[in-house]
Structure 1
């Protein structure tokens, strides 16, 4: 299966999820992640602010911040690379280039992700054998993941049925070490 077809299928399945199912999934994902010692100990967390039918991160970002972690969120640059800025509560976000909420704090640069102790990324699917993630196709997170150290936990958030076998891969695609679904956390590496 090619990436474009797989993206269309997953996006169609995601749009069929009810608001109640999205909320239930978000709570399961948030609570399971927050129970992990390596999440609790992470001082600097790179995450993302979810949009649409993506696995919801709003409560997760808020909980990490309230528990004392410094959370950095991406700011999409004109070249589709990701700059990073600190989240300092819900009132510190504003719509970005594509309407996705971004922090209004000082930009920390594309290399800020190098200092994160935990990186949480969006994905449409992850290959359960290789950890290769399928993104939206812009390459933003592949560039960001290339900057992350090899021992830093990288977690892709997924809905049920999105941890699959056979995600098409290209040389620029990067893997993640964990996949988080409402069913639980899966180690991939």
Structure 2
């Protein structure tokens, strides 16, 4: 591993989080609706029986409209539960949420185990940025890199981003897992070339 990559990731995270704090609330609402429109129109999402998603917090790309529309479309939705070792368990989205570690909201239903992610047809996941080769910048805990390691090859993995967060040079580390797609409000769902890593 290049020892310069960790500071580069930290600097990029700081830059992107600062930019997110400047996004006006009305723009966040409009962007969330656009993301839901793009994803519900995507053929892989339309065909999917089971989808993983997450409950957005703060200035993340909003998922409340998306979750409502996925449920209305009859999708089985799995939401993450962060375990003490920062791995992810999964539970069905049933409308009941509770505050959890790291300021997240998590489902209160029966846990399905970390391997439940392998049965999803499409994964919708958070991130701060993505490169066009599939490298994804997360928050640094490695939660989703562990989850992505359990996902069969060929499963669509889509990172939800704000405009301006796609196309960054994302430093990669050996544990990083690439994603197959990104979605932004302006660009829609974009296919990414699979690169060496993405976390």
1:170 partnered with 2:144: no
Match of 2:58 in 1: 52
Secondary structure in 1 matching 2:101: coil
- Return 5+ residue gaps in structure 1 as ranges: none
Secondary structure in 2 matching 1:80: coil
1:106 partnered with 2:110: yes
Match of 2:97 among 93, 100, 107: 93
Give CA-to-partner distance per residue, 1:68-123, whole Å, 9 cap, x none: 0110000011111100000013xx11111233111111110111000000000101
CA shift, 1:136, in A, is 0.3
TM-score computed with the length of structure 1 as normaliser: 0.96
Give CA-to-partner distance per residue, 1:156-177, whole Å, 9 cap, x none: 0001111124210011111111
1:134 partnered with 2:137: yes
Question: 2:18 and 2:90 mapped to 1: Cα distance?
Answer: 30
Question: 1:97 and 1:38 mapped to 2: Cα distance?
Answer: 31
Q: Is the 8 A contact 2:129 2:168 kept in 1?
A: no
TM-score computed with the length of structure 2 as normaliser: 0.91
Secondary structure in 2 matching 1:163: coil
- Return 5+ residue gaps in structure 2 as ranges: 194-199
* Length, aligned pairs only: 186
Q: Is the 8 A contact 1:65 1:88 kept in 2?
A: no
Question: Runs of at least 4 residues of structure 1 off by over 3 A?
Answer: none
Q: Is the 8 A contact 2:128 2:161 kept in 1?
A: yes
Question: 1:142 and 1:22 mapped to 2: Cα distance?
Answer: 26
